[in-house]
Amino acid sequence: MVKHKLRVGYVGLSLPAYFAEQLGYRERTIQGLEKLAAAWGFDLFPVAEPVQNEADALRAAQSLKDKSLDLLLIQNTSISIGDQLLPLVEVAPRIGLWSLPDPSLDGPVQLHSLVALNEHASILKRYLRHRDIPFKWFYDHVDSEMFTRRFGITVRALTAVKNIERARIGWIGGVSPGFHNMMVDPRRLNERLGLSVGEHEMAELVQRAEAQQASAVSALASDIRGAAAAVTVSSDVAFERVTRVYMALKDMVAAHGYDALAVQCWSKIQEQYRIVPCMAYSWLGSEDGVAVSCEGDLQGAISMYLLNTLTGSAPSSTLLDLAALDPKTRSMMMFHCGVTPRHFANADGIKWVDHVLLGRNSGDAPYGVAGDQIFAPQPDTTITYLGDAGSRLLVLRASIIEHTLKGFDGTRGWFDRFELNKAEIDPWDLINTLTVRGHEHHFAVGIGDVTDELMEFAAWKKLSLIERVPYADYLQLEGVNA
C-alpha cells in the first residue's frame, strides 16, 4: 500500500570528556537502525563519524543536506551543546531528539545524555521558536522496547504523511445529490494536505466500461460470482455491467496513477448505465487494495487511503454510516448499502444482491449489484475521517462484536467499546460529539488499531481533533458551551 518510502537520517552527538565512543553506542545505534529500516521499509542515511563539535556538525549537515530527509534523528550519544545542534536542524523538516541512559547510575557520570534532551528541546522551543520546528523525543537504546515502540509509531505516521502529501485521488461524477456536507474544494485539500485531485465525468467511466473486451468481462464475472456465498441478482446484464465498471475503474487507477477513488454511486450512473456499482467498489478494495469511497465523498476516499497506508494491509478499508444504536447492548451499527470489501465478512461470506434501497417504492426495476455481509468480530478496528476540508481528524477505536440482531441488509457490523482520542466514550457522548461538532456523517473503517499513529499524524500535520462533547439535555453550541 505504501508508494513512497520514508527517508530517515541519523547523527550521534557527543563531547570528548564523556564515554559515548568508548562504549560503542553510536555503532550499536547505526546497526540497530539498519535492522529496523530493513524490517519496516524506510531508507536510512546515517552519519558514521562522531559529531563532537560545531565543525563536525557542519560537515555532517553538509553530507545530509542533499538526501531529501523526512526526519533527522539527532541522538545525544552523550551530552552535547547547542552549537552542535544548530547546523543540523537545517537538513530535515522534522527532528527526532534522542537520549540514551547512562550505563551506571552512581559514580562518575559517563553520558549525561538526558540533560541534553532537555537542553535541545528547549533550544528548539525557545531560541528557535520563530522556526516552529516540529520534533519528537525518544529515549533508550535502539533495541529497547520503549524506543522501538515509540519510533515505530513515528515511522508509520510519517510514512502516511509523506504518502498523503503525494497522493493522487480520482473523483468521478462529483458528490451525490443533496450531500451538501460532503462538498469540498479540491484546491483547499491541496493547500492543506499537498495531495492532488483528478476530476472526471461519469460518462467517461461508462465509456471505459463499455469498451472492455467481452471475453475478459465474462471470465472475470464468473470469478466474482464464484467468490460469493450466494448470488441473487435479478439481472445478468447488471452483473456484467458492474464487472465492466470494476475493470474501467482499475484502468483509470493505472492510467492516472491514482491512489484512491471517490465515485458517485447515485444518481448519475443509474441514469446513464442502469446499475449500482457497489460490487465494483467492494471488489477493487478486496482484490486490488484500492480505496473507493461511495457517494462521491472525496474526503472519505482520502480517509480510507490514510488508513490503508497506516495498516499496510493489502485489502482496503471501507466507508460506512453510523446507522443505528442499540441502547440495551450499548452497541452501534455501522452500515452501508453494499460497498465493503469481502474480507470484512464473517464465516457466512459475502452475497451479491440487488441494492436494498435504489429502485425501491419507485416502480422502477431493482438495481444490481451490491454486497450483503455481516462483519466478523474484531477486537480492534480504527475509525477515522479527515474532514473540514482536510483540517480536522476523527480518531476512534472500537471492537466489532457478534449481535443477536443481523442488522440492516447491506454491508454492516455491530461496534462497541468506543474510544475517542485514546479515551473511552459512552455511545450517547459519541453521538452528541459528532452531532454538535457537525461531523460529515461518513466514517472510514479499517481492521486493527492504528489510533496512536493517527494521533501522531494529526500532530505532524497540525490538524485539529474532534474533541468530546459530553451529552447534556440543554442546547450545546460549538465554541460556546461545547
pLDDT higher than threshold 90 for residue 313: no
At residue 364, the pLDDT reads 84
166-207 tens-digit pLDDT: 999 999 999 999 999 999 999 999 999 999 999 999 999 999
250-265 tens-digit pLDDT: 999 999 999 999 999 9
Cell digits for 10? 541519523
Identify the CA nearest to 247 among candidates 273, 276, 210, 291.
Answer: 210
At residue 48, the pLDDT reads 97
Cell digits for 342? 469481502
CATH 3.40.50.10940 range(s) for the chain read 7-164
238 close to 204: Cβ distance less than 8 angstroms:
no
142-167 tens-digit pLDDT: 999 999 999 999 999 999 999 999 99
Those residues with Cβ within 8 angstroms of residue 296's Cβ, 6 or more apart along the chain or in another chain: 171, 172, 173, 174, 175, 176, 179, 182, 262, 263, 264, 265
At residue 12, the pLDDT reads 98
At residue 362, the pLDDT reads 81
At residue 365, the pLDDT reads 82
Mean pLDDT over 262-272 rounds to 96
Those residues with Cβ within 8 angstroms of residue 473's Cβ, 6 or more apart along the chain or in another chain: none
pLDDT higher than threshold 90 for residue 369: yes
At residue 67, the pLDDT reads 98
Name the pLDDT band for 359 (thresholds 50, 70, 90).
Answer: confident
- Of 162-166, 227-231, 282-286, 313-317, the poorest mean pLDDT is in 313-317
Percentage, residues of the chain above pLDDT 70: 100
Distance CA 42, CA 35 (A): 10
Name the pLDDT band for 91 (thresholds 50, 70, 90).
Answer: very high
What is the pTM assigned to this prediction? 0.97
Q: What is the CATH number of domain 7-164?
A: 3.40.50.10940
Percentage, residues of the chain above pLDDT 90: 96
Mean pLDDT over 79-92 rounds to 97
Which residue is listed with cell 481528524? 393
CATH 3.40.275.10 range(s) for the chain read 168-465
Name the pLDDT band for 314 (thresholds 50, 70, 90).
Answer: confident
19-50 tens-digit pLDDT: 999 999 999 999 999 999 999 999 999 999 99
Name the pLDDT band for 1 (thresholds 50, 70, 90).
Answer: low
Those residues with Cβ within 8 angstroms of residue 57's Cβ, 6 or more apart along the chain or in another chain: 11, 13, 51, 83, 84, 85, 86, 87, 88
Strands 168-172 and 260-263 come out as: parallel
Cell digits for 56? 563536525
Q: What topology does CATH give the domain 168-465?
A: L-fucose Isomerase; Chain A, domain 2 (3.40.275)
Strands 411-420 and 392-401 come out as: antiparallel
pLDDT higher than threshold 80 for residue 363: no
At residue 446, the pLDDT reads 97
State the average pLDDT for the chain: 97
Distance CA 123, CA 125 (A): 6
